[in-house]
Structure formats: structure tokens, C-alpha cells
């Protein structure tokens, strides 16, 4: 990659973050509290979308593969109130195991 | 270490492992070590960095790489309004804090019970994350050939699984459940028809049905 592309990425990525933090306050101008019911739900909507996309992302379309099994196992661990680190390891181990099985 | 600081460290460790993946892929895509370091330190939003080097590695143009990376970075703008009140009030420190407003820090901040813990969780996660993401990236460049295919280790499941744990507290209330279900559904529907990154932006509209449910709940509680 050229340095020009990297500089554009640096500026663009920071610009997105800064717009959210500084710009939003300017737009709502003291009425930010009125948007609170909406903004409080943004993490739920975005994290669920992030999980769906990252679990099933393929080339241009969604695929169900070893990752799906791993993340599902991780979800069971969350439901069973397992510690955070256990959730992550369960997901990795199950994903790796399913992949290893299908490669044999 | 209090609970949220420890969890922030665990999340940062998992992300640091993803950082190794980034280093491996960036090296394979022909980025020089200084470029990898500058990207991880200053772009500092994992999905965008991974998208950029993947496009370059698969022979795409630099314009396409930058475009898809910025579409993925755009969602960070949506986290600003969520965490803004936890950041310093004066302009310059607030502008500097914006660099750390990403998936992981927002997630750790929004599952705390009060603003003091939320701000603490935000900053501890930010510090660990920035340190380990950069360390992971450099390690990845170094180890490149040794690690080979990161998928063999199930590394690509670590991030979504971590977010299942971080999403769970948002599902305790019905509006959160509605927003989460709607967000996932919108993202799934949008993925085959929209470029990467856009499905995550579309998902934000799921806050509307979530909000409708919350006002209905409030009306019922009032009557």
C-alpha cells in the first residue's frame, strides 16, 4: 500500500470517530438528552449486527461454517454464566475442532 | 483489579490475538513494518485495517481498499453519541479521546451500572487495547511465516464470541432485545446486496422498533 492511502485511512478513520463524539453534540445542541432513548439502544443493534456479520461473513455473501459452531458454543457459555475468558476460549477451541474434523 | 478492568484486559488480549492476524496478513499483503505500525497506532480500528489489507492481498485497487476500510470505520461515528458524556468536557481532550471510541471500548463502557465505572472501563479498555493491538500487530509481522493460517487456531471466532458476552447485558430489557434482533436481521439481509461495512450502518435503524417498544412499556407502566 502507498503511504498516501495509509494517511487517507488515518485521517478518515479518526474523522468518523471525531464526528461521532464532537459533531453529534453540535447537531443536537443541548437537546442530546432527547436522543438518549435512541442512543442507549445503538450498542444492542450494532453489536448484534457485528456478531452476525463476523460469524457468517464469506466472500460477498453469508456462510455457515466452523465459526458458527464456535460462536454458538460461546453463546451457550455466556448463558451458563462462564467467565469472559472461558467464553472466548470455548469459541476458539470449538471452531478449531470443527475445522480440523472437516479437513481430515 | 476490579471486575471491569480485568474484563477489559481479557478483551484486549483477545483483540491482541486478532492483531497478530492483522500483522500476518499485512505482511503478506506487502505492507512495510513502519506502515503496519502507523496503521495500528493511528487508524486503530481493527475491522477496517483487516479489510484494507485483505483487499490489497486479493489484488484489489488501493482505492477499493481504502473505501471498504472507511465504510467499516463509519460505524464508530455511531458510538460517539453513546459514550460522549463519559469523555472529558473540554474540547481538545475530548477530540483526543475520540481516537479510542471503537467497538470494544463502547462495549465495555455500556455494560457498567454507573457512569463512573463506565468511564473507568472505557479508559482501562482503551489503554490495554491500544497497547496489545499494537504489540499483536508487530508480533504478527515478525512471526508471519511461523503462524501460517490464523484460521487453524479458531482465531476468527474469538471476536464475535467476545461480543456475544458483551451483548448479553443489553438483552436484559425488551427494547434491547428488539434492537439486537432487528440489528442482526437488517445486517443479514443487507450483506448480500451492500458492500462490507454498510450492513452495520443499516443495522442502526433497529433502534426505532426498540424505542417504540420502550415507549409502549413506559405507557403501560404509567397507566
Predicted pLDDT of residue B96: 96
A59 pLDDT more than 60 = yes
pLDDT at residue B146 in the model = 74
Asked if pLDDT for residue A29 goes beyond 70, the answer is no
A33 touches chain B (CB under 8 A): no
pLDDT at residue A94 above 90?
yes
Write out pLDDT tens, residues A6-15: 999 999 999 9
Q: Which residue of A10, A13, A75, A85 to mutate against B (max B Cβ within 10 Å)? A: A13
Q: Å from A5 to nearest chain B CA?
A: 7
B40 DSSP 8-state letter = I
What is the crossing angle of helices A32-39 and B76-83, to 10°? 120
Task: Please check whether residue A40 touches B, CB under 8 A.
Answer: yes
- Partner A contacted by B135 (CB < 8 A): no
Beta bridge partner(s), residue A62: A57
pLDDT of residue B77: 94
pLDDT at A27: 64
Q: Is A61 exposed, middle or buried (0-12, 13-18, 19+ CB in 10 A)?
A: exposed
Which value does ipTM take for this structure?
0.89
Q: Domain boundaries in chain B?
A: 3-159, 173-223
Mean residue pLDDT across chain A: 89
pLDDT tens digits for range B4-17: 999 999 999 989 98
Decide if A42 touches B, using CB distance below 8 A. yes
Indicate the pLDDT class of residue B144, thresholds 50, 70 and 90: confident
- Cα of A80 to nearest chain B Cα, Å: 11
Q: Work out the mean pLDDT of chain B and round it to a whole number.
A: 91
Buried b (16+ CB within 10 A) or exposed e, A9-35: bbebbbbbbbbbbbbbbeeeeeeeeee
Residue B26 has pLDDT above 80, yes or no: yes
So what's the pLDDT on residue A24? 74
- Give residue B28's pLDDT: 86
Alpha helices for B29-170 (secondary structure H): 33-38, 46-57, 62-73, 76-83, 91-97, 103-110, 115-147, 155-167
Handedness of CA B43, B131, B200, B25 (dihedral sign): positive
Interface of B with A in 79-118 (CB under 8 A): 79-85, 87, 91, 94-95, 97-99, 101-103, 106-107, 110
For residues A26-51, average pLDDT:
81
Instruction: Tell me which of A15, A31, A49 to substitute to probe the interface with B (most B C-beta atoms closer than 10 Å).
Output: A49
Question: What pLDDT sits at residue B152?
Answer: 79
**Cβ proximity of A92 and B152 under 8 Å:** no
Question: pLDDT at position A37, please?
Answer: 83
B159 pLDDT tier (thresholds 50, 70, 90): confident
Q: What is the DSSP string of A6-67?
A: HHHHHHHHHHHHHIIIIIHHHHHTT-HHHHHHHHTTHHHHHHHHHHHHHHHB-SSSB--SHH
Residue B148: per-residue pLDDT: 67
Over the stretch B42-96, which tens digit does the pLDDT of each residue have? Answer: 999 999 999 899 888 888 889 989 998 999 999 999 999 999 989 998 999 999 9
pLDDT of residue B1: 54
pLDDT tops 60 at residue B223: no
Predicted pLDDT at A104: 63
pLDDT for A25 = 64
Amino acid at each position: 500500500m502507498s503511504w498516501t492511502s495509509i494517511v487517507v485511512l488515518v485521517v478518515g478513520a479518526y474523522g468518523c470517530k471525531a464526528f461521532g463524539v464532537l459533531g453529534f453534540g453540535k447537531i443536537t445542541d443541548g437537546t442530546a438528552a432527547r436522543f438518549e432513548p435512541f442512543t442507549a439502544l445503538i450498542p444492542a443493534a450494532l453489536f448484534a449486527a457485528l456478531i452476525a456479520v463476523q460469524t457468517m461473513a464469506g466472500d460477498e455473501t453469508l456462510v455457515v461454517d466452523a465459526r458458527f459452531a464456535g460462536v454458538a458454543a460461546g453463546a451457550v457459555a455466556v448463558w451458563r454464566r462462564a467467565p469472559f475468558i472461558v467464553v472466548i476460549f470455548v469459541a476458539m477451541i470449538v471452531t478449531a475442532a470443527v475445522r480440523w474434523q472437516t479437513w481430515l | 483489579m476490579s471486575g471491569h478492568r480485568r474484563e477489559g484486559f481479557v478483551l484486549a488480549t483477545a483483540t491482541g490475538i486478532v492483531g497478530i492476524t492483522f500483522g500476518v496478513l499485512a505482511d503478506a499483503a506487502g505492507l512495510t513494518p513502519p506502515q503496519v505500525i502507523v496503521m495500528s497506532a493511528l487508524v486503530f480500528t481493527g475491522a477496517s485495517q483487516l479489510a484494507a489489507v485483505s483487499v490489497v492481498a486479493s489484488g484489489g485497487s488501493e482505492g477499493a481498499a481504502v473505501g471498504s476500510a472507511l465504510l467499516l470505520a463509519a460505524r464508530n461515528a455511531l458510538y460517539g453519541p453513546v459514550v460522549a458524556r463519559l469523555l472529558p468536557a473540554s474540547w481538545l481532550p475530548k477530540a483526543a479521546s475520540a481516537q479510542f471510541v471503537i467497538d470494544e471500548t463502547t462495549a465495555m463502557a455500556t455494560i457498567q451500572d454507573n457512569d463512573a465505572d463506565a468511564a473507568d472501563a472505557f479508559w482501562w479498555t482503551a489503554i490495554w487495547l491500544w497497547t496489545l493491538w499494537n504489540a499483536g500487530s508487530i508480533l504478527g509481522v515478525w512471526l508471519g511465516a511461523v503462524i501460517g493460517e490464523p484460521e487453524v487456531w479458531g482465531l476468527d471466532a474469538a471476536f464475535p464470541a467476545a461480543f456475544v458476552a458483551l451483548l448479553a447485558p443489553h438483552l436484559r430489557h425488551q427494547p434491547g432485545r428488539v434492537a439486537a434482533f432487528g440489528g442482526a436481521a437488517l445486517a443479514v439481509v443487507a450483506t448480500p446486496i451492500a458492500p462490507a461495512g454498510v450492513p452495520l450502518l443499516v443495522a442502526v435503524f433497529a433502534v426505532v422498533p426498540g424505542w417504540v417498544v420502550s415507549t409502549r412499556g413506559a405507557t403501560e407502566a404509567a397507566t
